[in-house]
Amino acid sequence: MERKSDHATVNRIYDEFDPIFNRKTEQGFETLTIYLPGFRKEQLKVQVTTTRKVRVMGERPAGANKWIRFRKEFPIQANIDVDSIGAKFEGANLVVKLPRLPMGKQTSPMGTTAKPPPVPKETEKVQPTKEKEAGVEKHAEKAQLPKPSREEETKRDEKEKALKEAERENVCDGVKQYYRSNVNAYKENLGGYVALMKNNKKAITLGMVAPAAAVLLLSLGFYAGQMFTS
């Protein structure tokens, strides 16, 4: 008989069934109602998993080797008391009752009791010790640049004045040299111009005397010829 039942189980043909369900929130608890037509109480199983889920499953024959089965899981909220969950089968409906926990005893989704967030403590102000203060003062003294004395300031001012005077003298010397060079060039150009004028005067006088002398000689020769012929 056992062998025949095992053989019949192996040859079963299953049709997956997705039941209709309804979840309703009431005062103090929640109600999960699953509609399972054709099922009987002994054909159903209700479990609470370690991952805080309600698992409902079942199977029933549908004729010959055909069977109808389903498997459904519903998450449990953090404010539900897992130890007080109950289920009952009424007609074609499986009703699962999920009571709520009192305020302040809610659990996390993994089943551990949720702890209230820690209240942050006021941070204590750490007062610096004398050694630290002394080290900070020494570091500040090293960081500060030394201020120059009055003598150093006067020397620095005198050096600046001397440098300015030297710059002025260099500028004056440069101007003087430039002026002298221009004057000398002007003198040279003027002397050359005078010399050129003198040379031109000599050339002009010679050019005028030579023709005059030629005219005089011709007139004298003509006059002498007249005298000899007469």
Of residues 173 and 61, the one with the higher pLDDT is: 61
Taking residue 78's Cβ as centre, other Cβ atoms within 10 Å add up to: 15
What's the whole-number mean pLDDT along residues 217-230? 58
pTM of the predicted protein model: 0.44
pLDDT in tens, 164-214: 887 777 655 665 676 576 656 656 766 665 566 666 655 545 556 556 666
Rg from Cα positions in the chain: 66
From the list 57, 101, 55, the residue with the least C-alpha distance to 77 is: 101
63-87 per-position pLDDT tens digit: 888 999 999 999 999 999 999 999 9
Point out which residues pair with 58 in neighbouring strands: 44, 70
Nearest to 65 by CA among 27, 103, 10: 10
User: Residue 1 has what pLDDT?
Assistant: 47
- Which sign does the torsion angle of CA 164, 169, 175, 178 carry? negative
Rounded Cα–Cα distance for residues 34 and 20 (Å): 6
Domain boundaries, the chain: 13-99, 155-229
Residue 56 burial (CB < 10 Å; 0-12/13-18/19+)? buried
Among the four given CATH numbers 3.10.129.10, 2.60.40.790, 3.40.50.300, 3.30.530.20, the one describing domain 13-99: 2.60.40.790
DSSP 36-95: -TT--GGGEEEEE-TTSEEEEEEEEE-STTEEEEEEEEEEPPTTB-GGG-EEEEETTEEE
